[in-house]
Amino acid sequence: MKSLQEKEVFEEVLSSEQILFRLFHANMLTLLPKKYICFKCGCSYDKVKKILAQFSKEQLNNMYENGLIHVTCHFCGKEYDFRKEDL
């Protein structure tokens, strides 16, 4: 005997809570309140600038390409450009 039928899942006959109960009721399932989550990156121009300030002038000079240091945040993909006068 199946505790859940295919149509109940894919045709949205049951709520998420009902599906979880049907599948895991024998495991003493405890449902917690729903919580909204979202992706948020904490990067900013000023934070990247502070990181770059930790490098020596020689290291910074090696980073310049076409008069700019280009930084891309690997979490959110935001891009920052810095000129020599910015640093």
Burial of residue 54, with CB atoms counted within 10 A of its CB: 0-12 exposed, 13-18 middle, 19 or more buried: exposed
Domain ranges of the chain: 1-37, 45-86
Give 68's contacts (C-beta < 8 A, 6+ positions apart): 81, 82, 83
Record the tokens describing residue 22, joined without a space: 């049907």
Banded model confidence at residue 11, pLDDT cuts 50, 70, 90: confident
Tell me which of 5-14, 15-24, 45-54 is least confident.
5-14
pLDDT tens-digit readout, 26-35: 888 888 888 8
Looking at residue 26, its pLDDT comes to: 80
- Closest by alpha carbon to 18, among 4, 6, 32? 4
pLDDT tens for each residue of 48-59 = 999 999 999 999
pTM value is 0.57
